Amino acid sequence: MNVLLAKTDHLASVWKTGLKNYAKYFQTNQGAFKGIKKTYAAKEGTVDEPKRRDNRLVVTTVGEKLDYFEKHNGDYIDALFSLEKTNSSGLAKAKLTVDDMEIGEFTSLELLRLKTILESEQLRAMYEHIPVRSDSENWDKSENEMYENRQIYETKMQEGVVKTTVKEPYILEDPNVKKGGEGYIPQVVARDITQELGDYTHQEFSGEWSHRERAELLARRTKLLSATITALKEANEAEAVKSEMTAEKLFRYLHG
């Protein structure tokens, strides 16, 4: 018991700080979940344009961040609920069921602690700020060797030619005027010429979740909270256990 108390006290601040940091990271570092690869090869005789090249790797994925969060907070959650179970008389119990799946039987103190965690504003904010990829693009699971065994998605590679339009001057001939004759003034005009500058490719990568995945996570949180509240109500319907400490004993001793 004393070990559990010391452990939960020590890890409580880590848990709270972790929730706050994750929510902030998801909100302000969404670029870490994005990647892009752009290539460019200038045509012979044209000026190279290095700015058309880019290769930014996906730093992390939502799945990797949540796995890390779960791994480094597992001890706290386990110790927390073990403490609540130890504190509980064990008589006020109820089964917790979500979507017809029974998670287990828990005491009222365990359910109350679970309710507190699920209602946490920091937990909700962390999940609400999970980065999501754009629905305006078609994304497929990436098979790029750079992202092997990671939950990275990619857009279809775009390929094409960079072109520009240049003005080419030429003399407009007038068949009614003899070239080189007296008073002849050549009329110089310009015509547009399309010139190919180079070949390019463009492809984007993402370690973000889809909008559906984030929405389903938030829905599961809501369902679990609702089921916890229901189970807590059932647990609290258990018969009260009379304590050995009574008012008569307390005040008889205190008042002498």
- 98 three-class SS: strand
pLDDT score, position 92: 76
Indicate the pLDDT class of residue 215, thresholds 50, 70 and 90: very high
Q: Is pLDDT larger for residue 89 or for residue 131?
A: 131
Mean pLDDT of the chain: 87
Distance CA 49, CA 41 (A): 9
Q: Tell me the pLDDT tens digit for each residue of 155-210.
A: 999 999 999 998 888 887 766 665 555 666 777 888 889 999 999 999 999 999 99
Digit-coded pLDDT (tens) for 4-37: 667 787 788 889 999 999 999 999 999 999 999 9
Q: Render pLDDT for 138-156 as a digit per residue (tens, 0 to 9).
A: 999 999 999 999 999 999 9
Distances (CA, A) of 47 to 43, 118, 162, 232: 8, 59, 12, 72
Which residue type, as a one-letter code, is found at position 51? K
Q: pLDDT band for position 40 (50/70/90)?
A: very high
245 three-class SS:
coil
Position with higher pLDDT, 254 vs 158: 158
The proportion of the chain whose per-residue pLDDT surpasses 90, expressed as a percent, equals: 58
Q: At what angle do helices 211-235 and 121-128 cross, to 10 degrees?
A: 160
- Does the predicted model carry a pTM greater than 0.75? no
Task: Tell which wins on pLDDT, 66 or 81.
Answer: 66
Place of tokens 């050995």: 244
How high is the pLDDT of residue 5?
67
